[in-house]
Amino acid sequence: MDTANTITTTKGTFPLCREEFPDIGVAICLPEDFHDLPNEEKPQSIAVPGAVSVVRADMENKFVFTINSLAVKVEAGQTEGEAAVWLVAEQQKILSHSTPNYQEFGVGNRENDGHTIALLRFASNSSDGAIYNVSYVCIHEEKMILGTFSCPFSDYIEWDVVFSMCLGTLRFI
């Protein structure tokens, strides 16, 4: 893994390393100290049945980044970007009605390497306190990349910057 970038926040300096996930078909730069979360430590809430999944976390498992890949068919007349935006809008509707103490920070999208990545930013609660979450969806050649990022709410301002920089390096391989 080669270091791609380093990002500095008031919480510290985070070297980012490019990792390739051939089973998912993507490469992305993640903080170099993130590790694979063993299956027994993976929260059930991030399991995606039938998906090829990667779960990375910091050493304390406070900051968690997931990438999942599922086969998907885009409806005729709909672009991959439109389908991703629609899926996140539907997810927003479901979460806003089913998640206790749901607080939305925005639904949007970004262009990345010629693909639309749809994003939903929101806060929720857990037994450990308030959690900041970002859900993202990108579709490419009948493959949906569905992922999340979560961290303690108290750290979200700086970690959203780190997450955004990582997401900006997502490439299909």
- Give DSSP secondary structure letters for 13-81: EEEEEEEEETTTTEEEEEETT-EEPPGGGS-GGG--TT-EEEEEE-TTS-SEEEEEEEE--PPTT--HH
Domains of the chain plus CATH, in order, are 3-39+50-172 (3.40.1000.10)
Tokens 């629609």, located at residue = 86
pLDDT tens figures, 122-135: 999 888 889 999 99
Partner residues linked to 112 by β-bridges: 115
Band of the pLDDT at 53, cuts 50, 70, 90? Answer: confident
pTM of the complete model beyond 0.95: no
Mean pLDDT of the chain: 88
Contact (CB, 8 A) for 28 and 170:
yes
- The stretch 144-172 carries a mean pLDDT of 93
- The stretch 68-89 carries a mean pLDDT of 92
Partner residues linked to 146 by β-bridges: 68, 137
